[in-house]
Amino acid sequence: MFVETYKTELVQSIILFAILYIIRFIAALAIKKIGRKSGINDARIHLIIRYASVTLVLIGLLVVAVIFGTEMKDLTLVFSSVFAVIGIALFAIWSILSNITSGIIMFFSFPYKVGDKVQIHDKDFPVEAIIEDIRAFQLHLRLDNGDLVTYPNNLILQKPVTLIEKDAIDDGHDAI
């Protein structure tokens, strides 16, 4: 019954999701290529691919709602209500969102990589360390004394940073 009634809408939805899957595939390839060309580790590449996939699924759900005849005024009411609730909730966790957004920005334009020794010019907490890992929320920095410091992504984009030594991690291989 349902399939017969909504045959056209179901076919359009299947075509839409096929197109979105192809777009996701192409986007994933592009993100991997950019990430590998920039020397970014695989964990960060997969995180950005996951963000892109979730965005495409949300867009797909919105378009499917339109395909099945949902009126724009109804969608506007639902989205304004949802965004009001989300906005209030997110205001409480804005720093987390700021760090995630900074992590995405750093994926595409951060000039320093894992293994680089950097100096962060923070007047309250100056840091000179090796970047051990770049995560969604923070950088893991290894100090000369062996201590691990986690530094929020949003702060690293706000502070001046100096590259002291490129790829300072000693991997045990001697250069010839």
* Helices (H), ranges, 93-173: 94-109, 153-156
Those residues whose C-beta lies under 8 Å from the C-beta of residue 123, and which sit 6 or more positions away, are none
Long-range contacts of 25-34 (CB under 8 A, 24+ apart): 27/52, 27/56, 28/52, 28/53, 34/108
CB 141 within 8 A of CB 148: yes
* Tokens 């995630």, located at residue: 100
Work out whether strand 148-152 and strand 127-134 pair parallel, antiparallel, or are unpaired.
unpaired
Whether the per-residue pLDDT at 136 is higher than 50: the answer is: yes
Sign of CA dihedral 33, 53, 47, 163: positive
Whether the per-residue pLDDT at 142 is higher than 90: the answer is: yes
Whether the per-residue pLDDT at 154 is higher than 80: the answer is: yes
pLDDT of residue 30: 94
In this predicted model, what pLDDT tens digit does every residue of 12-30 receive, in sequence order? 999 999 999 999 999 999 9
The H-or-E segment that residue 112 falls in is none
pLDDT of residue 176: 40
If you average pLDDT over every residue of the chain, what do you get? 85
Cα angle vertex 103, ends 106, 21, to 5°?
100
Q: Name the band, by pLDDT with cuts 50, 70 and 90, for residue 56.
A: very high
Whether the per-residue pLDDT at 92 is higher than 80: the answer is: no
> What architecture does CATH give domain 111-165?
Roll (2.30)
Q: Name the band, by pLDDT with cuts 50, 70 and 90, for residue 57.
A: very high
